[in-house]
Structure 1
Amino acid sequence: MYFCKNYFLCSKSFFKLLPHEQLIIEYFSGPVSWYDLVEMKRREVAEPNYNPNFNVITDIREAIVNLDALDDVESYIDFLKSNQKSIGTRKTAILTNNSEQVIHSELLRVMKRDLPINIKTVSTYNAVFEWVELLPKVAQQIETYLDNLTTEFYLVSTN
């Protein structure tokens, strides 16, 4: 259950580049729209260490996904296609915990068409780490990092 005294102030999105692991971690919490994904990707691509071939873990377990318009999905896909720096061959694991998030993830997977991004919707850390092929030691560090983000989100959203 999502509790927040100020619904819109509780929205968070950020990313972390891990060049040595050739990995990008994306985290979303609170209300999330396709526009938020575009803005996140713009920030990522602007980073000096960004590489479009890095695998991606996108954690949307604490996100409230806005699925209002298919046009918004198309806009996100068009943004990716028009931004050559964001296009690379990679695997993306989208970590979910409810049916609305699964729909969001699968919609993106189906509509990405010609982009060389392999997307998998998952609900466990093991599935994430297997899909993006992380070593156990690195996987444990990533799991701890994501758990800490989730804990931080709950502390902020209940105040």
Structure 2
Amino acid sequence: MKTDYKTYKILTNQHLIIEVYNGDFYIEDVIALKTKLFQDINYKPDYNIIMDLRNATWNISEEEILEYIQFATKNIKSISNRKIAFLTSKPKEVVIGILFSKLNKKLPVTLDVFSTLGASFSFLNFNDETSRTDIINEIKLLKKSL
């Protein structure tokens, strides 16, 4: 498990959590980030999420997706109705996102996979230019920090 290739930022004004993953990562990395996120004082279970996976390589199997869903189910108080936008540039991550959304019947989330920020903004209903610019700038800062 690598520890320096994942980070997040909570944007309270936009009711949004941005997660950025970089390089190779595993299910343990996702669980570690979510555990830290759930403990953040600014965390709100109903905030939507952008998971930016464009510079990441997932090393996650179907069984591990089920393991993550079990983890999330055990932490269901930390999860509320929300949308998750998987932002990716690789076919494997598209498949993982689709598989996650199919296996994820117990969680109150709607997940979709996108290859552009614009499409993820539409999915998450960020239609004003100011919000979009703020989010793009935060993603850039997060990527620089990795």
| TM-score (normalizing by structure 2) | 0.90
Instruction: Summarize deviations over 1:6-32 as a string: whole Å, max 9, x none.
Output: xx8695101101112110000000111
Consecutive unaligned residues in structure 1, runs of 5 or more: 1-7
Correspondent of 2:94 among 102, 109, 123:
102
1:59 aligns with 2:20: no
Residues in 2 aligned to 1:62 and 1:51: alpha-carbon distance in whole angstroms:
26
Q: Report if aligned partners of 1:61, 1:98 keep a CA contact under 8 Å in 2.
A: yes
Please list, as runs of the form range in 1=range in 2, the aligned pairs for 1:88-127 lying within 5 A after superposition: 88-127=80-119
Residues in 2 aligned to 1:142 and 1:63: alpha-carbon distance in whole angstroms:
19
Measured on the aligned residues, the alpha-carbon RMSD in Å equals 1.9
In the alignment, which residue of structure 1 is the partner of 2:40?
Answer: 47
Name the aligned partner's letter for residue 31 of structure 2.
V
Moved over 6 A (4+): none
Residues in 1 aligned to 2:137 and 2:48: alpha-carbon distance in whole angstroms:
18
Residues in 1 aligned to 2:117 and 2:72: alpha-carbon distance in whole angstroms:
26
Name the aligned partner's letter for residue 39 of structure 2.
A
Select the structure that is richer in helix: 1
In the alignment, which residue of structure 2 is the partner of 1:26?
Answer: 19
In the alignment, which residue of structure 1 is the partner of 2:134?
Answer: 141
The structure that has the greater radius of gyration is: 1
Residues in 2 aligned to 1:17 and 1:11: alpha-carbon distance in whole angstroms:
18
Instruction: Summarize deviations over 1:87-143 as a string: whole Å, max 9, x none.
Output: 200011010001011112112111111211000100111111111112321111211
Paired residues in the alignment total 145
Q: Residue 97 and residue 50 in structure 1: after superposition, are their counterparts in 2 closer, same or farther (change >3 A)? A: same
